[in-house]
Structure 1
Amino acid sequence: MPETPQEPSAPAPSAHEAPAPAAATAPAATGHAALDALPRTASGAQVWAALGRAGLITRAYRDGDVRAGADPDGLAQLLAAVDSRFSLAATLSVSVQLATALPILATGSSQVARQALASALAGRATIALAATDVTAGTDLTALRTRVRIDDDGLEVTGEKNWIANTTTAAFFLVLARHRPGRHFTHFTWVLVPADAPGVTPCPADSVLFADSGAGHVVLDGVRLDRGHLLGRVGFGLPLFARHIATERLAGAQWGVALCRRVLDDTLRHLSGRPHGEGTLWDLDGVRRTFAACLVRVRELQALVAYHAEQVAVRHDTTAAATLKAAAGATVNHVLTECGQLWGAAGFATGGIQELRAQAALFGIGGGANEVVLGAVADAAEAVLADMARTAHT
């Protein structure tokens, strides 16, 4: 489990003492100096390029090998390093590639897939995970994007909406159906070059997520050779389920880092904001609200520690859904409460209210909270059995 920043070991101030202003949030891990040359306004594509040039992308994987799967410690440290320096949208761009896009791309054995992976790891290429369909949303078995496979090659037709890295992608990983119907074996991954004839990307109408390259892409009769198939035909959904679990782990790890950073900034704001003869930090109600946020983040941190190996190594989808639901609820709670504690100052450009709007993504992207809670409910007996087992160990 990643070494997440801990609270200082110094004694806590009394109820009538404001804490000394905290130092600026330090990077979550060492060895990420290559990122410091970029401005805080860098886009996700710029951050990705810097990570690749510095050889940092492989730190997210066991033994530095994408095919070996995610390394929970390395993944968490890399996400925390990016989150501490850049916008939420830029971090989203990086997170999706690290947790989902590259591992799916790594299943390809053709020359074009190997070259695309090498370019992505070096930061020369940005990869867009194009799963969400224009008509289906998170119900992937209802997607209409289709791939026709014949002896001469492939033809891909459809439209994908709200895809991170759309406007910067060199390649799209497109989930498409090769058979009609909703059976889980009717879907396949295709590696689609962004410059292939028939590929038309456009930016989404979203200022909040412009740094992630969010957008939509139309695939109009895109012809490719069979080397652009990724993995085995018909294994698209099982492959997605395997790696979306890692994305949900990454989201929870990122949620811990984001909340810790927000709480650190908020504590500094409260301890420096005059109120009466003291500061806002002296108010008991403020302190209790802040403490409740600390508890919530500690709970999420503990849950990540408990489930990290289950997800990263065994691809436990119930554990991943649990993390996703917990992260969405925790981030929403912390950003909402801290937004209130910042008062009018939170509405400044780039302030916490803007971040709060972006952070709503944690309850929606990668499976809405209602969907993942349904998945946890489906496994209720197994979850209760695990709770009973761990209570006696």
Structure 2
Amino acid sequence: MTAFSLDPAQTSWCEELRALAEQQLRPLAEKGGPGHVNRPLIAALGASGLLDRMLDSGALDLCLLRESLARGCTEAETALALQGLGSHPVLRAGTPAQRARWLPEVRAGRAVAAFALSEPGAGSDAAALALDAAPDGGLGPGSGAGRGWRLTGEKCWISNAPEADFYTVFARTTRGAGSRGVTAFLVPADRPGLTGCALDMLSPHPIGTLSFDGVPVTVEDVLGEPDRGFRVAMDTLNLFRPSVGAFAVGMARAALDATLAHTAGRTAFGGPLKDLQAVSHQVAEMATRTEAARLLVYAAAAAHDAGEEGVPRRAAMAKLYATETAQYVVDTAVQLHGARALRRGHLLEHLYREVRAPRIYEGASEVQRTIIARESYANREASA
């Protein structure tokens, strides 16, 4: 297999995932309330083995999972991805005790995870985190100086907040050290001093804020090493950025599928819409950009799994191009469908609300362009 093709088994698996999403997961998604964690949907993802598969997948399998689910049910895709984003740091950097406590619950769909990185003043600039982790020597018998911290500050735009069962939280343990002074903590939702509230957002999945009022954490809660948490965050984002692109590709393919069916069956001006050159050329552009985005996503994922150099640059390219493409494809699909696509409950109305956020979260498009340019200049200097 090359990085640009799928073997028959992978293609068959993708079709099975799409059918599962449409037939079994979508009905559960439709029963959920906008802006709230859909626990029955997450439990179904666990019972189907998809959460288990997600945690054990490489980047390419994760992309296939997300693309296929998004094509059939965006809510199922998002629920799965958020579980992965919140629990991947525990999988990769957690202690045996942390993994034993939480990962079986995540795999089974019984525990909801969240990735708490963004702050009101530190979204795209993740190294500017201000959530303060002040040393605390009074955290119980045997604590001693340097054994614990108190977290004080806020997190914002956190998916699954405030309804998650545990949070991967990134806080500043060394002031003035930039990205080198950030530590990752596993913080259960029932810790004293931790509160949150939901935000009413355009996208239907839950997003909220978290407030930390002296929340106690100890060395047993650290993910990885103190002051090395930024590496934990980047390790997670380098895996998930191509798969955000896969989510976008899945939405683009769903919009393209709907457009092909609509323009082939809808008549206007004496014939089907597909016979109008103005329509067919737009469909051709949608199809070409979607396929190009798929190939870029697969190439970035394959490079990640192979341990090749330049993964941050490829991941940034994949996320940038796929999310921008999905925005174009969904918008064009709405235009070709006309007013019916704007009716509440129509697939394209749903996709139109879903497709905007991926251009912002896990690194806005502008951040991806910065990464691509920086890495490109670094490659030039290295080869000069």
TM-score between the two structures when normalised by the length of structure 1: 0.83
For the residue of structure 2 that corresponds to 1:132, the secondary structure is coil
1:128 maps to 114
Partner secondary structure for residue 157 of structure 2 = strand
Q: Structure 1: state its 5+ residue gaps.
A: 6-24, 65-69, 389-393
2:231 is the alignment partner of 1:238: yes
CA distance in 2, matches of 1:189, 1:230: 5
The residue that corresponds to 2:89 in the other structure is 104
Query: Aligned to 1:46, which of 23, 40, 45?
Result: 40
Q: Is the 1:346–1:353 contact (alpha carbons within 8 Å) kept by the matching residues of 2?
A: yes
Match of 2:127 among 123, 141, 160: 141
Q: What residue is the counterpart of 2:25 in the other structure?
A: 35
For residues 288 and 27 of structure 1, do their structure 2 counterparts lie closer, same or farther at Cα, with a shift above 3 Å needed? farther
**For residue 77 of structure 1, what is the aligned residue in structure 2?**
64
Percent of matched pairs sharing the same residue? 28
Q: SS of the residue aligned with 2:87?
A: helix
1:225 to 218, 237, 245: 218
Offset of residue 31 of structure 1: 7.0
Q: After superposition, what is the alpha-carbon deviation per residue over 1:63-115, rounded to whole angstroms, capped at 9, x for unaligned? A: x3xxxxx4234313322343244345x533321332x3222012111524431
TM-score (structure 2 length as normaliser): 0.84
- Give the SS at the match of 1:286: helix
Judge conservation of contact 2:51–2:80 (CA < 8 Å) in 1: no
Report the secondary structure of 1:271's partner residue.
Answer: helix
Closer/same/farther in 2, CA of residues 269 and 41 from structure 1, 3 Å limit: farther
2:344 aligns to what? 349
Q: Are 1:327 and 2:322 counterparts?
A: yes
Q: 1:369 to 1:277 in 2, by over 3 A?
A: same
Contact persistence 1:172–1:193 (CA under 8 A): yes
| Bigger shift: residues 375-384 or 34-43 | 34-43
CA shift in 2, pair 1:372/1:50, >3 Å? same
**Superposed displacement of residue 356, structure 1:** 1.7
CA distance in 1, matches of 2:248, 2:333: 15
Is it true that 1:275 corresponds to 2:268 in the alignment?
A: yes
Instruction: Tell me the residue number matched to 1:9.
Output: none
Residue by residue over 1:41-79, the C-alpha shift from the partner in whole angstroms, topping out at 9 and shown as x without a partner, is 445543322111232212225xx3xxxxx4234313322
Contact 2:87-2:168 within 8 A present in 1 as well: no
The one-letter amino acid paired with 2:90 is: L
Structure-1 separation of matches of 2:53 and 2:135: 36
CA distance in 2, matches of 1:255, 1:118: 29
Q: 1:191 to 1:170 in 2, by over 3 A?
A: same
- 1:261 is matched with 254
SS at match of 1:159: strand
Q: Is 1:44–1:213's contact at 8 Å kept on the other side of the alignment?
A: no
| Aligned length in residues | 357
| Distance change (3 Å), C-alpha of 1:44 and 1:291 | farther
For 1:385 and 1:349, the matched residues in 2 are separated by 52
Inter-CA distance 322–383: structure 2 relative to 1 (3 Å threshold): farther
Cα distance in 2 between the residues matched to 1:49 and 1:78:
17
Quote how far apart the aligned CAs of 1:246 are. Answer: 1.1
Q: For 1:217-238, what per-residue CA distance to the aligned partner results, in whole angstroms no more than 9, with x for missing partners?
A: 1111111332111111111111
Select 2:179's aligned residue among 179, 184, 199. 184
Asked if 2 retains the 8 angstrom alpha-carbon contact of 1:47 and 1:94, the reply is no
Q: Where is the helix percentage greater, Structure 1 or Structure 2? A: 2
> What secondary structure does 1:379 align onto?
helix
1:339/1:376 CA distance change after superposition, 3 Å: same
Aligned-CA RMSD value: 2.7
Q: 1:80 to 1:306 in 2, by over 3 A?
A: closer
